[in-house]
Structure 1
Amino acid sequence: MARRCDLLDTGPMSGNNVSHAKNRTKRRFEVNLCNVTLASDALGQKFRMRIAAKTLRTVDFKGGLDFFLLGTKNHKLTEKAKKIKKQLVKLEASKEA
């Protein structure tokens, strides 16, 4: 299973370990993934996801999963997140009509 965020597709980064003598060796900075269940108020559903801790903080800051998805551009989201966003937009359009 790839270590990637289910919402923003954040993956591991690469860098160097630097010793006291300035010797550099390659290393990976892994993503801090959390298994969470996020509730959509508009859809009335819960979604189990494996997301990065920094993404979880952003979701809380934006006011929940619905506001996070509606305020995020599609090219930043994963396919799973785009499907949920599409349902939200469709529901919102049907309420206006």
Structure 2
Amino acid sequence: MSRVCELTGKGPITGNNVSHANNRTRRRFLPNLNDVTLMSETLGRTVKLRISAAALRTVDHRGGLDGFMAKARESELSARALKIKKEIEKSLTAA
């Protein structure tokens, strides 16, 4: 399982551990990923995703999964999230 947020594309970045003697060793900064179940009002069902804590706050701020997907860039979304976005758009145009 990769350490990448399915909604924002946020992944590991690299940096340095710096000791008191200013010795530098490489390290990885991992995103704070959580397995969450989000409700889609348009689809009428829940969706399980692995997203970062920052993305979860953004989903809440934009009014839920449907609001987030409406504004999300397709280049940042994972394949599963892109499929969900297409389902939501299709459901909105049919209704």
Give the 3-state SS of the residue equivalent to 2:75 in structure 1.
Answer: helix
Q: Which residue identity lines up with residue 67 of structure 1 in the other structure?
A: G
Higher helix proportion: 1
Contact 1:7–1:80 under 8 Å retained in 2:
no
Cα distance in 1 for residues equivalent to 2:35 and 2:91 = 27
TM-score (norm 1): 0.91
Q: State the identity as a percent.
A: 49
Root-mean-square deviation over aligned CA pairs: 1.0
- Residues paired across the two proteins, number: 95
The residue aligned with 2:63 is: 63
Could you tell me which amino acid in structure 2 is paired with residue 68 of structure 1? Answer: F
* Cα deviation, residue 6, structure 1: 2.1
Q: Any stretches of 5+ residues in structure 1 without a counterpart? A: none
Q: In structure 2, what residue type is equivalent to 1:46?
A: T
Is residue 41 of structure 1 aligned with residue 41 of structure 2? yes
Q: Which blocks of at least 5 consecutive residues in structure 2 are unaligned?
A: none
Partner of 2:31: 31
Deviating 4+ runs (over 4 angstroms): none
Deviation at residue 8 of structure 1 after TM alignment = 2.2
